């Protein structure tokens, strides 16, 4: 009887943890208006996710841009987290800039739009 109860409790525990799983909201933008040939900062803001098993990459034509900065994992309300990653860049018309986010086993790429 005791064993059955603890299995039940364990199942309940995992069900509760799982229900708190939530996918990230991702915004890719630049600090200044995206004018080609002008120095700018590419920013990827990821919020509202749980659990905090995440990695963020800023990409230029699919390759990671070096020397980026990332904020510490910030704790929002209700078990959710947010993170911001940024890097200096000078946008060029032929290049594609994007933010790749892996949350748990889900990998998604968000492309920066110059006219935002």
Ligand X SMILES: *[C@@H]1O[C@H](CO)[C@@H](O)[C@H](O)[C@H]1NC(C)=O
Residues at the site binding ligand X, with contacts judged by CB under 6 A: 41, 47, 69, 74-76, 82, 86-88
Indicate the residue among 76 and 96 with the shorter CB distance to ligand X. 76
Q: What minimum distance in Å lies between the beta carbon of 49 and ligand X? A: 11
Residue 16 to residue 10: CA distance in whole angstroms: 10
Tokens 């800039």 belong to 97
Of 98, 93, 101, 81, residue with least CA distance to 30? 98
Q: What minimum distance in Å lies between the beta carbon of 11 and ligand X? A: 31
Indicate the residue among 36 and 75 with the shorter CB distance to ligand X. 75
């Amino acid at each position: 009887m005791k064993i059955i109860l603890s299995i039940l409790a364990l199942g309940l525990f995992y069900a509760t943890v799982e229900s708190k799983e939530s996918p990230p909201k991702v915004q890719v933008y630049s600090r200044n208006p995206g004018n080609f040939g002008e120095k700018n900062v590419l920013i990827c803001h990821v919020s509202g996710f749980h659990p905090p098993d995440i990695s963020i990459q800023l990409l230029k034509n699919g390759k990671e841009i070096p020397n980026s900065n990332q904020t510490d994992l910030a704790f929002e309300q209700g078990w959710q987290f947010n993170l911001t990653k940024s890097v200096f860049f000078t946008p060029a018309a032929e290049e594609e800039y994007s933010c790749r986010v892996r949350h748990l086993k889900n990998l998604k790429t968000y492309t920066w739009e110059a006219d935002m």
